[in-house]
Amino acid sequence: MIAARVISNVLQDGKSLNTALDNALLSVESTKDKAFIQALCYGVCRYFYRLSFILNELLDKPIKDSEINALALVGLYQLNYMRVKQHAAVSETVLAAKKKPWAKSLVNALLRTYLRQQGVLEQKADENVAASVSHPVWLLRQIEIDWPERSSQILEANNRQPPMVLRVNLALNSRDQYLQSLSDHELAAKTVSFCESSLILSRPVPVELLPGFEQGHVSVQDTAAQLAASLLDVQVGQRVLDVCAAPGGKTVHILESQPHLKELVAIDIDEARLSRVQENLLRSNVSAQLIVGDAAKPKDWWDGQLFDRILLDAPCSALGVIRRHPDIKILRKPDDIKALQLLQKSILAATWPLLSSGGLLLYATCSILKQENEEQIMGFLAMHADAFEVPIDATWGNAAQRGRQILTGDSEMDGFYYALIKKS
């Protein structure tokens, strides 16, 4: 029932899956049970639109109790996507409803009817627009508009489990040295040709099993996010601003790549999330000035000294990281995109005056939507005569009208966007 409560928190209360899971797993002691509950919750969110369609086909009327509705989805997910024996999946799901006797017979009937009619129900799901790809219709249509030739690949990638990717701290060890250290611990990984710090594990493992993790020898970060530090090209003695810095992966990477900066200032509007930046800094034994503040209102926190480099990891729809956060498909709404565009525009305009002449600003999002990415940068360049795009010449991603776009699944990466802008 724990998994059902988590799913209900997401569907009914609009909580993020991570937050709901973290709270729910506090009462679970078994590592094996935690992993199973997590697999159920991620799986139901990943295939929610398909599972929900099938459940509605089985019902005469909607289930008003949100936890029982979520429990039915959990049962359907086990029957279709997990290596759980059918009788065990049915009996355990029914047992989970024991505190609500009226629901036991309903859940039992639903799951057994599904098993009898599975072929027909799955075929109906295949013929439904949203259910066939397990995405909301608005998002499916937007992806088709932006990437007509790649839409099916993006949708498929969104529904796959992502790899666990490591960023080796090259200030402490070479990638080959750390690869050997993994091998010594019977952990297999492969390198990424275009990113010298990246290793992709053959299977996910708890971070405590990674050699040297607590000592800052390695961090968990997708390859796409690791590209920021090299693109920013920070030099000795420079002053760097990291805007919207939490949770701090890119902050730490910049400091690892250039330990002789004059200063790195990291700002985020969320104090709780900024504390995670501090945790990452401490683990990696690097330091930065952390400021809680609104990036769109620098007059409230800026000391008046210009920056040589600015990383703006802009607030975005996060549609490029759906495979890591499948609840985004459920929680994100069409109206969110316009609001995010306005916020991005506001932060870009507010941040630009903080950059010194000849300085570089790297705009980044984990979105695949053109409105948040190349169209945002085209609009910014049109409004600022002293801003010039620096083309990104790379073997990864795709050249956009402005900047460079990585689509979800490209070279096993998350969806990401970068644009490099120089001030004249």
**Among the options 45, 244, 316, 366, which is catalytic?**
366
**Torsion of the alpha carbons at 66, 72, 75 and 76, rounded to the nearest 10:** -120
Torsional class of 397: left (φ above 0), alpha (ψ -120 to 50), beta (otherwise): left
Give the integer Cα–Cα distance in Å for 412 and 403. Answer: 20
45 catalytic per annotation: no
190 and 162 Cβ atoms separated by less than 8 Å: no
Query: Catalytic residues, which ones?
Result: 366
